[in-house]
Amino acid sequence: MISIQNEPQPTDLGDVRVANRAVVLRHVRLHAPCSRADIAARTGLNKATVSSLVAELIDQRLVRETGLTENRVGRPATMLVLDGEPYAALGLQLGADELVAVAIDLGGNRLLTWRRAFAADTVSPAETLRALTALARRAIGRVTAQGRTMLGLTVGVPGLVDPAGAVPLADALGWRDVPVAADLRAALREPAFTVGVETVANLAALAEQRHGAYAGTADLVHLAGGITVGAGIIAAGRLLRGGRGFAGGIGHLPVDPAGPPCDCGGRGCLTTLVGLPAVVRRLLPDAEADGPVTDYLPELTRIVALARQDDPTVCNGLAETGRHLGRGVAVLADLLNPEAVVLGDHFATLAPWLLPAARSELAARAHAPGAGGVRLDASTLDTAAALGGATAALAAVEAGRLPTR
């Protein structure tokens, strides 16, 4: 006998309303300016439901009337757009040598982009969290002074992040079991808005899917660089997190068995071949003459300058880095068959010299014909992970839940 216990139960009316609210908001976000009649016609919701939902969204100031009318046969219609004014969402990014804050409004328009030099791998997790808190407080202060309500905050960390927002492991930072979300919530005195934590790669992938050159692509991978290497994977339109949230951690993918030793005990891991510290060490042997590098931007700028002058050592080193990168991307292409793999961070900065070698290695190594149709390109987004963090912080409202003002 077939049990019906596990079959979906009828959803209650509250859930239906939340889901319909999300449908209306999504339609306005993608098609504004649009009328109530457009929404009803395109979403299949009936006109009375749309009118009631729109009234509620206007009341919450998530949507506003523009006063514009559509010039067509019949009664002129009032047009609707997202209301960007009353709300803000914040993304923070823990980078190789900096902290980044990006705030956006409901429509995704940037309200602020701040970068602060900060070498997280040289200080304790507690000091890093203090610096993050201070930056968050200043950014929150700035947007709330504009009369905006904070909808949420998401921090991007270069490491593994569990569903509770804790970081069990971040090699690049020397972190073990750091309860980032809980500590940040406490430091911000348990705010009314959500405080989330994600890997920088996941957040950058979200930013690519919403704001990047491949926006709207259902199967997309963002390969984040910097002090570590990680993949943010969008599969069938959704972020792929895996069972415990650790999907995409490909930094220790073995690429070259004869490669340099890695902190993990292996050899020739992707990070040891193409990560920013490895690239700087290999291409600029004098970079560590005065001690460990804590500020990578000047070194990256030097590499670019030498590559532009066709310096043979640097150009050969970048081509070799591109080949290693191509091998890593070939694994992603075979495993996930994405439509696009987008390179972020230092890979994007060095893309003119990395991409030719990476693309030919990808074509040669991937099993599927034409590497499964994957396009390999550099990201065009600035501070992608922080932008993705702010985008992720809009998720609850975009899912149809009303903000608490």
Alpha carbon distance 75, 61 (integer Å): 25
Backbone torsions φ then ψ of 63, nearest 5 degrees: -130, 150
Which of 33, 168, 174, 266 forms a contact with Zn ion (CB under 5 A)?
266
Give the number of residues in contact with Zn ion, rule: CB under 5 A.
5
H helix or E strand, kind and range, residue 233:
strand 230-235
Asked if residue 273 binds Zn ion (CB under 5 A), the reply is no
Backbone torsions φ then ψ of 341, nearest 5 degrees: -115, 120
Asked if residue 181 binds Zn ion (CB under 5 A), the reply is no
Asked if residue 324 binds Zn ion (CB under 5 A), the reply is no
Q: Minimum distance between the CB of residue 254 and Zn ion, rounded to whole angstroms?
A: 8
Asked if residue 259 binds Zn ion (CB under 5 A), the reply is no
Nearer to Zn ion among residue 111 and residue 270 (C-beta): 270
Given the rule CB under 5 A, which of 38-46, 105-113, 244-252, 329-337 is the region that contacts Zn ion? 244-252
Nearer to Zn ion among residue 191 and residue 266 (C-beta): 266
Which of 21, 252, 324, 359 forms a contact with Zn ion (CB under 5 A)?
252
Asked if residue 269 binds Zn ion (CB under 5 A), the reply is yes
Which of 90, 106, 253, 262 forms a contact with Zn ion (CB under 5 A)?
262
* 374: amino acid identity, one letter: V
Could you check whether the bond before residue 86 is cis, i.e. omega within 30 degrees of 0? no
Nearer to Zn ion among residue 159 and residue 400 (C-beta): 159
Nearer to Zn ion among residue 239 and residue 269 (C-beta): 269
Alpha carbon distance 376, 83 (integer Å): 36
Token pair listed for 332: 């992603």
What is the side-by-side order of every strand in the sheet holding 98-104? Answer: 110-117, 98-104, 87-94, 149-157, 194-199
The maximal CA–CA distance of the chain, rounded, in angstroms, is 76
Asked if residue 261 binds Zn ion (CB under 5 A), the reply is no
Let me know: does 194 contact 181? Beta carbons within 8 Å. no
Nearer to Zn ion among residue 53 and residue 224 (C-beta): 224
- In the complex, the residues that contact Zn ion under the rule CB under 5 A are 252, 262, 264, 266, 269
